[in-house]
Structure 1
Amino acid sequence: MDNANGNTIVLGDVEVIRVVEWQGPFGPAAGLVPRAGERLWRDNEDWLAPDHLRPEDGTAVMALQTWVLRSGGTTVLVDTGVGNGRERPGTPLFHRREGDFLGALARAGVRPQDVDYVVNTHLHADHVGWNTRDGQDTDGAAGEWTPSFPNARYLIPAADDHHFGPRGRYAGGEREDDRLTYEDSVAPVHRAGQAVLWEGSHRIDEHLTLEAAPGHTPGSSVLRLASGTDRAVFVGDLLHSPVQILSPSCDSCFCMDPRQTAATRREVLGRAADLRELVVPAHFGGAGAVEVRREGEGFGIFRWAAYGPGR
């Protein structure tokens, strides 16, 4: 995606800019949302393809992306992708990636020093990677991770910080990728004194509020935007594929507590349908954001987001 070509939505007084780190085939769709069933994918492949599904081999298509919010003179980043040079041996797609994410931010008009807040909706590796960068790029020692955004406060759900950090023994079992993720992308933010742990809810400004939405991880959260008559909800990993809108009981393979995640998903989608909130998941390709409506026991696609030139 090229932000210079108008990958922007204006909601009330808040400008929303999408910055894509990577987009492409992710893995088998049947493995991503195991309970969806082959028929749900097949019956909807005409509109799922090509942005969410590759029908010829049943591969799910996803994006790694950050949402930039400009609200009342404040610049907020929602999730920070995978990052460069990370040791992620358990996830080949994320392992030792190299990309031009900071360049993409710059093309969107965002310098690292301009960022006021970084929101991590949860602490999975693909949501915290650009929290930090190698110190040799910031006048530090090579191999020393330092915050990418030196003036930002990093808003981190306390429950996830406990679960994925050393107090929780890195997700309860010292899983190597979880330990590495915390040590290179979260712990340096704590050491720099830039981490803000929150519980329940946290208001950023008059337009933006974080709310707990547990299930996917213990501290998973959503960010609500309300400005004028416009509404949006940034839902992180409550949704990995649009098939979960059609069948909200279907969890992704990454959800830690499927029953709780499904209840949270249904609640968030219900409110979005009733209040006409734009739903903004972390990983949707294509338009990346969608309005939903109630349909029977589930929900349907009302319309996809339309982008225009930024202000």
Structure 2
Amino acid sequence: MVTQATKTYRIGDASIIRIDELRLAAFQLDALYPGADPQALEHHRDRLDAGSFDPATGTFIQSIHSWLVKTPHHTILIDTATGNDKNRPDIPPLHRLNEPFLARLAAAGVTPEQVDYVLLTHVHADHVGWNTRLVDGRWIPTFPNATYVLSRIEHAYGASLAVGTEPIGAARPDPALGAAVRKPADRVYDDSVRPVIEAGLAKLIAVNGDEVLEGISFVPTPGHSVDHASIRFVSRGEQALFAGDVMHHPLQVYEPSLNSCFCEFPDAALRSRAFVLEDAAERGATVFTTHFAESSVGRIDRRGDGFAWHFL
């Protein structure tokens, strides 16, 4: 379990705080990055702090959390972690959790009713779970006054898979993504997305880089999922990038050829990671990650022909 992060980051007029759910030490190299050359880890081990890698067990240390963004006008959550009571037998670390996520949100000064927007990078189990909570046997929206913003394609794809049909039309993956090697986990759409849609709280968007709120745009970074987005936030000339699952661990900054075992479209995931590394380094953006441990926040700099990660 992660202790509530108290550090507040400033991007222009906005304050940003991590709202913790879980700390994980569940994966070794060959499990998180199937087929990876062991030298990919050995070569960079001295760049991985103890808070990100346990050398005694060879285990990566990771986090699952949300980002609370408070602007002068809005209270925003970016991704909503896993949620309690979710039936995830195929993902044991996420199965039927009972975590004080909402208490941690309250400790940051926000109640569910005060959230204006929920921005979702993609529809995976550990990014949409607190969209809903279980009340009297029904899944209801956790943030009743919020607009939930998500990809129209992610929604259509998830809806088609949930009813067991082959994706067609808008739900069909773009052939440019390359071959899919996996699909999203079962049940996620039904318990964490459908109730939000049925409550009329969702805003389905095209992930094309256009501004969806003042200073906020959804940047296309597909591959980890069918229409994965990274979320760019700009305020008073300062830039943040909420990178979602383009990367799961700092090792991928140094070895961007590594795709996680959770990436659905590996070819596109490689291209999106390369884009994010170049983009963040060029813009000097503060990068807010979803699964890096330690502070989960950092900057990406060029290092020779590659890149380096620096926690903030």
Is the structural similarity TM-score above 0.5?
A: yes
Q: Secondary structure, in 3 states, of the residue corresponding to 1:16? A: strand
| Runs of 4+ residues over 4 Å off in structure 1 | 167-173
Amino acid paired to 2:142? S
Match of 1:165 in 2: 159
Answer yes or no: is 1:146 the counterpart of 2:153.
no
Match of 1:156 in 2: 150
In structure 2, how many angstroms separate the alpha carbons of the residues matched to 1:252 and 1:227? 32
Match of 1:264 in 2: 272
Query: How far did residue 129 of structure 1 move?
Result: 0.5
Correspondence list, 1:34-73, <5 A: 34-73=34-73
In structure 1, how many angstroms separate the alpha carbons of the residues matched to 2:159 and 2:195? 12
CA contact (8 A) 1:54 1:61 kept: yes
Answer yes or no: is 1:98 the counterpart of 2:98.
yes
Correspondence list, 1:1-311, <5 A: 1-3=2-4, 6-135=6-135, 142-166=136-160, 169=163, 178-199=185-206, 200-301=208-309, 303-305=310-312
CA contact (8 A) 1:36 1:243 kept: no
Match of 1:308 in 2: none
Query: How far did residue 271 of structure 1 move?
Result: 1.2
Q: Secondary structure, in 3 states, of the residue corresponding to 1:128? A: helix
Q: Secondary structure, in 3 states, of the residue corresponding to 2:274? A: helix
Q: TM-score, normalised by structure 2?
A: 0.89
Q: Assess, with a 3 A threshold, how the Cα gap between structure 1 residues 242 and 197 changes in structure 2: closer, same or farther.
A: same
Amino acid paired to 2:190? E
Query: How far did residue 99 of structure 1 move?
Result: 0.6
In structure 2, how many angstroms separate the alpha carbons of the residues matched to 1:71 and 1:207? 10
Q: Secondary structure, in 3 states, of the residue corresponding to 1:244? A: helix
Q: Secondary structure, in 3 states, of the residue corresponding to 1:165? A: helix
Amino acid paired to 1:98? N
Range that drifts further, 42-51 or 57-66: 42-51
Equivalenced residue count is 296
Amino acid paired to 1:52? S
Unaligned runs of 5+ in 2: 168-181
Q: Assess, with a 3 A threshold, how the Cα gap between structure 1 residues 52 and 177 changes in structure 2: closer, same or farther.
A: same
Amino acid paired to 1:89? P
Amino acid paired to 1:99? E
Amino acid paired to 1:116? D
CA contact (8 A) 2:162 2:189 kept: no
Query: How far did residue 179 of structure 1 move?
Result: 3.5
Q: Deviations over 1:192-218 (max 9, x none)?
A: 000111112452332221222111111
Unaligned runs of 5+ in 1: 136-141, 306-311
Q: Deviations over 1:204-235 (max 9, x none)?
A: 33222122211111110011011123111001
CA contact (8 A) 1:153 1:194 kept: yes
Q: Deviations over 1:23-59 (max 9, x none)?
A: 1302222221235422222233334242221111211
Q: Secondary structure, in 3 states, of the residue corresponding to 1:204? A: strand
Q: Secondary structure, in 3 states, of the residue corresponding to 2:94? A: coil
Match of 2:171 in 1: none
Range that drifts further, 150-159 or 28-37: 28-37
Q: Assess, with a 3 A threshold, how the Cα gap between structure 1 residues 171 and 68 changes in structure 2: closer, same or farther.
A: farther
Identity over the aligned pairs, expressed in percent?
A: 34
Range that drifts further, 195-204 or 20-29: 195-204
Q: Deviations over 1:124-173 (max 9, x none)?
A: 100010000012xxxxxx11000000000001111111112136746959
Range that drifts further, 203-212 or 161-170: 161-170
